[in-house]
Structure 1
């Protein structure tokens, strides 16, 4: 019996992972990760890195981040405290959903996660103060491969639910999508 219910988002590989919570008067147990149970959803590599973020202020936007091949990574993003609007943006060359995005609310209350495949940029907006996220990555951070796009680029059309209250200096200076960008070639 799987402890996960997987829901499609309309972008190939971008999936919402709903965790089954087993609870009683003491509280609950929830399985955060199981490679075997997530394999049908596309998780096929070992976890190479786990990151934990804390975002202090509601309205803060982090992203849109990605790594170029051969360091492209799959991520499983979980909200441990607070709530976020979590966004995946398809950057894969030849994808039928190229430059489309989908977003879901992740929260400590709903216990959901977003499974983000290789070739998608990722970002989020804090819907509450004091948000904590846990990220599982299939590739370690590679400074030479890291990149990002402007979260406010009108060409991407990402609809943030709140006015943007704060972004890092780095994120504010990410470029918009270049007209000649044809996508990330994951086969290179």
Structure 2
């Protein structure tokens, strides 16, 4: 497993080793013990979700669940390609309100680990894109929050050139402003 730390503390690209032979390939997509040993993060999967987006330029997000139901996520693209945007909303973080965009596709095995305390969303860049999420807390509609993907306070670079037809759910289209969020996240450095 290869771990690449990104520009926001705790945000990582996780790429499993791939073993290939004449039959094809095999990879261990997630190993809890190895992940904890390599990252210092206790990530226990309790739910696995899959989203399927038929259209290019489908935007899902920005989402987070508030404490006590906060979720960390490990996601990968099963089919297609996405531009993922993550925003650090942990008060006291050295990168508070900083954002990172990462392109993920089915052409590699990279997975994005999004810790608790981050907003997360993505834009599809190919039709019929499928994304798999492993999460460490169950879905909680009561504590889920949807922030507008284009909130000017957040600065996500969705790499839109203008004129694209965007596809959003009503929840995302009507998302709240970040300024109105009941933000209970605080930064706690991970010690390894």
Say yes or no: TM over 0.5: yes
Equivalence for 1:170: 171
Distance in 2 between the 1:55 and 1:73 partners?
22
Distance change in 2, residues 1:180/1:167 (3 Å): closer
Secondary structure of the equivalent of 1:178?
Answer: helix
The TM-score with structure 1 as length reference comes to 0.91
Equivalent residues in 2 for 1:45-124 (5 A)?
45-124=43-122
1:153 aligns with 2:151: yes
Normalising by structure 2, we get a TM-score of: 0.89
Give deviations 1:29-72, integer Å, cap 9, x for gaps: 12111001111324314211110111111111100000001111
Alpha-carbon separation, structure 1, partners of 2:32 and 2:67 = 22
Q: Which one of 31, 34, 41 corresponds to residue 31 of structure 2?
A: 34
Aligned length: 184
Q: Which residue of 1 aligns with 2:141?
A: 143
CA–CA separation in structure 2 for the residues paired with 1:180 and 1:28 = 44
2:91–2:186 contact (8 Å) kept in structure 1: yes
Structure 2: gaps (5+ residues): none
Please name the residue that 1:184 is paired with.
Answer: 185
In structure 1, the gaps of 5 or more residues are none
2:20 aligned residue: 23
* RMSD between superposed Cα atoms in Å: 1.9
